[in-house]
Structure 1
């Protein structure tokens, strides 16, 4: 715990959160809504404070968890393990769930690869700031 850089964790979490705003906004927002069958009206009626607040806490927990694994590694290793975590574990786990839920491959790409990029960012920041 002593060697964990909490500032790096907060920054990595914030950047992952910002990535989500871009990813699910201008990049893939409309397509994500269509793939989920959401309308703009449905999204406006959601409890966004609860959704954003909980998402931030969950991303913080993911970042802390990754920090324990990456502690003391180089940036190159952080990127490699960030990618391996995002692609090999998270995106593939989402893919398995989406197969059984009969969700589209496009939705899997949008959701799964958000986490690939997120864990790359986390891995880079967590190892650059050690």
Structure 2
């Protein structure tokens, strides 16, 4: 469990790094500010420590659940209730054959990308519809989560 938490924390930290680049005014920050009505003055009024800590916390939750999505071996572990000592011999045979299969950054990034595209983007997009936000906002904010889930998925899948 300790490794799971560490991997999630590192992946969550990656979300901050991606955000610093993604929301830079020279990348998508100016578009995001225009589409949300944010000004530099309003941005300076924010409590950045709280915002960054909460971003880290929320990203940690996402990275934590991404383990179950990007690491196929969690399915086998779930079938036995998470207790290998109670497993039937078929579990040991399965893990002997497939224990580290598909545990690469590339594979995790693929599943992370699909999670971002088919889960995070629709969540952001649905909220944007009701908030009367533009398609540009949806692409910038949703795109950030697609890329972030992709990188976080790669990190948690490759790190063994």
Verify same fold: TM over 0.5: yes
Q: Which residue of 2 aligns with 1:74?
A: 103
Q: Distance in 2 between matches of 1:103 and 1:49?
A: 26
Structure 2: stretches of 5+ with no match in the other structure: 74-101
Larger radius of gyration: 2
Equivalent residues of 1:66, 1:123 under 8 A apart? yes
Q: Which residue of 1 aligns with 2:60?
A: 60
Q: What is the SS of the residue equivalent to 2:23?
A: helix
Pairing 1:89-108 to 2, within 5 Å after superposition: 89-108=119-138
Q: Is it true that 1:24 corresponds to 2:53 in the alignment?
A: no
Runs of 4+ in 1 over 6 A off after TM superposition: none
Question: Which moved further from structure 2: 78-87 or 4-13?
Answer: 4-13
Q: Is it true that 1:129 corresponds to 2:159 in the alignment?
A: yes
Equivalent residues of 1:5, 1:129 under 8 A apart? no
Q: Distance in 2 between matches of 1:16 and 1:101?
A: 24
CA-CA distance at 1:37 after TM superposition: 0.7
Q: Which residue of 2 aligns with 1:33?
A: 33
RMSD: 1.7
Structure number with the bigger relative contact order (C-alpha 8 A, sep ≥ 6) is: 1
Q: Which residue of 2 aligns with 1:113?
A: 143
CA-CA distance at 1:67 after TM superposition: 1.5
Give the structure-1-normalised TM-score: 0.89
Q: Distance in 1 between matches of 2:126 and 2:45?
A: 30
Q: Which residue of 1 aligns with 2:10?
A: 11
Q: What is the SS of the residue equivalent to 1:66?
A: helix
Q: CA-to-partner distance for each residue in 1:83-119, whole Å, 9 max, x for gaps?
A: 1110001101211221222100000000001000001
